[in-house]
Amino acid sequence: MQKDQIGQSRGPEAVTVGACAQTGDWANPHNVATTLMYLSFTYAAPGIAFGIIQGSMPLFTACIGFIFLKEKIGIIPWCGISISVIGVALVSIMMANQSTDSTHVLVVSIVLPLATAFAKGPGMVVARAIVKDMSGITMLLYSTLPGTVAQLILTYSFETPVWVMSTETAGYVAGLGLSKDLAMLFFVAVLTVEKAAIAVALRTLVIPLTILLDYLILSKVPTVLKWAGIFLVVIGTIVVAIHTWWTHHED
């Protein structure tokens, strides 16, 4: 019994020792990257930090995917990824020119998102390898359980857990968990049919929504030049998306 679609059981024979080991390999960089991502939000507006992360992730993922999975992408996707990287560079330069913070804070606000993107790259490649041997939901279950235990241990070791919170905060936490789970399920579904670098590049289209929520919830308004950088990131993603659609359309 073996099915390729996410969420459908493949039977016990599909859950090999190698796949379980790969699941652990995916969970480790994923947890590190998630921690770095939330730290980056404390130094830069989430929309800007997320733009840097999502804009640079396809480059790191493409390189790592080529090294370990021998996955090659075409000239047009590379052009789209390059446009996104230029957008990331523009955003970083504007942050440096317009920042009133100390040099240390400025460097951290740029380095943390880049470190997040670099840490997420191996995780995306390993996830791509795992979904060839087990369903996406099974992979997420195996990878989430150790992380939950580790988070509880770290929380009780380094700080006082907060179990009582306002209704608004509880709603934000519940929404965060739900959105992350749905995002990962859809992303893993894409990994079953597309290369890791392409799947990561397509996720960049979420950046405009993130910036909109920045404005609505946090009252953060990007400057015109930062908007230009984010626009380049999105344009690069659109190039990749159109090429991907056309390739599958021809098939």
Q: What is the DSSP string of 171-188?
A: HHHHHHHHHHHHHHHHHH
Task: Please state the pTM of the whole predicted model.
Answer: 0.67
Closest by Cα among 208, 241, 229, 216 to 58: 241
pLDDT of residue 196: 82
pLDDT of residue 171: 92
How far apart (Å, rounded) are the C-alpha atoms in residues 56 and 207? 13
How far apart (Å, rounded) are the C-alpha atoms in residues 193 and 166? 42
How far apart (Å, rounded) are the C-alpha atoms in residues 110 and 91? 9
pLDDT of residue 26: 54
pLDDT of residue 7: 42
Kindly state the tokens that stand for 222.
Answer: 């990007």
- pLDDT beneath 70, residues of the chain: 1-30, 95-101, 249-251
How far apart (Å, rounded) are the C-alpha atoms in residues 73 and 75? 7
How far apart (Å, rounded) are the C-alpha atoms in residues 95 and 130? 38
In sequence order, which residues have a C-beta less than 8 Å from that of residue 173 and are 6 or more positions away?
Answer: 165
pLDDT of residue 53: 85
Closest by Cα among 233, 137, 113 to 189: 137
pLDDT of residue 21: 52
pLDDT of residue 6: 41
Distances from the Cα of 130 to the Cα of 27, 145, 242, angstroms: 11, 17, 27
pLDDT of residue 236: 85
pLDDT of residue 101: 63
Average predicted confidence (pLDDT) for the chain: 77
Contact 79, 239 (CB under 8 A): yes
Look up residue 104 and give its amino acid. Answer: H
Angle at 119 between CA 76 and CA 195, to 5 degrees: 35
pLDDT of residue 98: 64
pLDDT of residue 28: 61
pLDDT of residue 10: 46
How far apart (Å, rounded) are the C-alpha atoms in residues 64 and 54? 16
pLDDT of residue 167: 92
Provide the residue ranges of all domains of the chain, joining segments of one domain with +. Answer: 12-250
Counting beta carbons within 10 angstroms of the beta carbon of residue 220, is it exposed (0 to 12), middle (13 to 18) or buried (19 or more)?
Answer: middle
Which ranges in the chain belong to alpha helices (H)?
A: 17-40, 46-69, 75-98, 103-130, 136-158, 167-191, 196-202, 207-213, 224-250
